[in-house]
Amino acid sequence: MEETVSALFSKDILHEAAGYFSLEIASLKEVGSFENYVFEAIQDGKPVILRLTHSSHRSQEQIESELDWLLYLHNHNAPVCPPYRSKNNKYIEQVQAGSTYFYVSLFKKASGTVTKLTNESYNQNLAYDWGEATSLLHRLTKEYQCPEHIQKRPLLIDEFQQQFVPFIPQDMLLLEKVNSVLKEIKQLSRETGFGLIHSDIHSGNFFYDGEQLSIFDFDDCSYHHFAHDLAMPLYYTLWSSTFNTEEDKESFAKQFLEDFINGYQTQCPVSSEMYSQINLFLKLRDCELYGVFHKKLDMSSLTTKQEQLLSSIRERILTGNPIVTI
């Protein structure tokens, strides 16, 4: 979390937020604080998830748009974690913090457990179910119409340019490579395989019970190409894996994609066009993360691991090579 936001957050703000949903104060346990403050809590004897979003990150209108789509998906039996209403019958409450606000929402806690997929713990069923769940969201979003009174979620490419590009170091060659990726994406057709997507369905954003995913964290949902949601699971699975050679990495990537796409095609077809776009969106994720890390991390006090991570991402951007070539 940015220092300016951390300085505003307090126990009083947290307790006021929890009060809107009648949560047990003693049960509050922080589970995340990267872009939002996220807490697990107990409401009427059941576990729930409390999220506080600072107004510098999202407007109330943007959150309303996120929750409208999330409720649509839930009402059509998608494996997602819906929001709950407050004591005031609202999905969003606000708590003042100086001249700013924290917007507060409550969600169902996902069923199952966190599952980190790597090459050493590969689960073919998980890869298949992951693809099927992703495809179900895509099938449903094709029919979703944002109500006129709800602000539409942004284009992912515009969000990236506004939120993270300004934080990328002013290195002319680096920026040239980033802009080249953005230009290529903007030239892609939006006639098919395009819509409102989660955009970040990695293994940290769902739980798995052995048969079905429970997907959460729709904070980054935006309008984008469906192929992006095929690239992200592959990117993060490779990121958390260790390989002896590039050949081993490519072989594993092929196996993962085969199982993932077999699951995906139970709900939607994968066109050759979508498949050919995966490399491009793997490159985009490197560009995004490079901007995210420069926005969120203190560059003067990086750990050795963080320095190595940033160096590897920078090298891939400069060479134009994705984390793996499909």
pLDDT at 248: 95
In degrees and rounded to multiples of 5, residue 114 shows phi and psi of -65, 140
First to last CA, the chain: 34
Residues 6+ positions from 114 with CB-CB distance below 8 Å:
203, 204, 207, 208
Residue type for position 278: I
pLDDT at 281: 98
pLDDT at 313: 97
pLDDT at 298: 87
Divide the 326 residues of the chain into consecutive groups of 10 and give the mean pLDDT of each group.
89 97 97 92 97 96 98 98 98 96 98 90 95 98 95 94 89 95 96 95 95 96 97 95 94 97 97 95 96 90 93 97 94
pLDDT at 65: 98
pTM: 0.94
Domains and CATH numbers, the chain: 3-108 (3.30.200.20), 113-319 (3.90.1200.10)
d(CA 238, CA 240): 5
pLDDT at 147: 95
Long-range contacts of 27-34 (CB under 8 A, 24+ apart): 33/1, 34/1, 34/296
pLDDT at 33: 87
pLDDT at 309: 93
113-114 sheet: strands from edge to edge: 113-114, 206-208, 213-215
d(CA 279, CA 50): 36
d(CA 261, CA 127): 9
Q: 146: helix, coil or strand?
A: coil
